[in-house]
């Protein structure tokens, strides 16, 4: 595969937080993830956060496994049928909003996703999504490398 010769370029670590993985970390995490139940849905990406949420649409809510992966992507799965039901489309406009410890929203230009984490970790979801958004699209105040 050898392209640009020897120099094992001493790249400084550019990791800015736990979501900003180096290529080596990514490979390592992917390898470890292979045995996990949700790995097949991650489509080659590293799963950074996963958990059950109720996704409300209209009158009803559906229980889904939500995966935040590198990419970034937000994938939701029907955990009974074990099929991917969809994905929240990520863009620079995507915003997460906390309503209370269980309920959070993900705003996209065309739709707001109403999500509820029955275990009460909504804040962790919002922080994780915001982190990922900053890493991917900038607008970081405290995401400085040095």
Contacts with ligand 4IP by CB under 6 A lie at: 55, 57-58, 60, 62, 64, 76, 85-86
Query: From CA 86, how far away is CA 66, in angstroms rounded?
Result: 10
Give me the least distance between CB of 69 and ligand 4IP, in Å please.
Answer: 17
Q: Which is nearer to ligand 4IP, 21 or 115 (CB)?
A: 115
Tell me if the bond preceding 63 is cis, omega within 30° of 0: no
How many CB atoms are closer than 10 A to CB 47? 19
Q: Which is nearer to ligand 4IP, 55 or 134 (CB)?
A: 55
Please identify, using beta-carbon distances, which residue of 16 and 84 lies nearer to ligand 4IP.
84
- Shortest Cβ 123–ligand 4IP spacing (Å): 23
Q: Which CB, 85 or 102, lies closer to ligand 4IP? A: 85
Radius of gyration of the chain (CA): 17
CA 94-123-19 angle, 5° bins: 65
Residue 26, φ and ψ in degrees, nearest 5: -60, -45
Nearest partner of 98 among 75, 114, 119, 83, judged by Cα: 114
Query: CB 33 → ligand 4IP: shortest distance, Å?
Result: 23
Residue 130 CB, shortest distance to ligand 4IP, in Å, is 22
């Amino acid at each position: 595969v050898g392209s640009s010769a020897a120099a094992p370029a001493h790249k400084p670590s550019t990791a800015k937080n736990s979501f900003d993985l180096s290529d080596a970390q990514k490979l390592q995490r992917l390898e470890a993830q292979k045995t996990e139940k949700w790995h097949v849905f991650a489509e080659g990406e590293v799963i950074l956060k996963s958990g059950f949420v109720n996704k409300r649409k209209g009158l009803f809510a559906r229980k889904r496994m939500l995966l935040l992966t590198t990419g970034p992507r937000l994938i939701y799965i029907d955990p009974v049928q074990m099929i991917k039901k969809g994905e929240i489309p990520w863009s620079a406009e995507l915003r997460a909003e906390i309503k209370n410890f269980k309920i959070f929203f993900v705003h996209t230009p065309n739709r707001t996703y109403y999500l509820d984490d029955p275990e009460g970790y909504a804040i962790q979801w919002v922080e994780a999504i915001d982190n990922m958004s900053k890493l991917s699209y900038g607008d970081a105040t405290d995401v400085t490398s040095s």
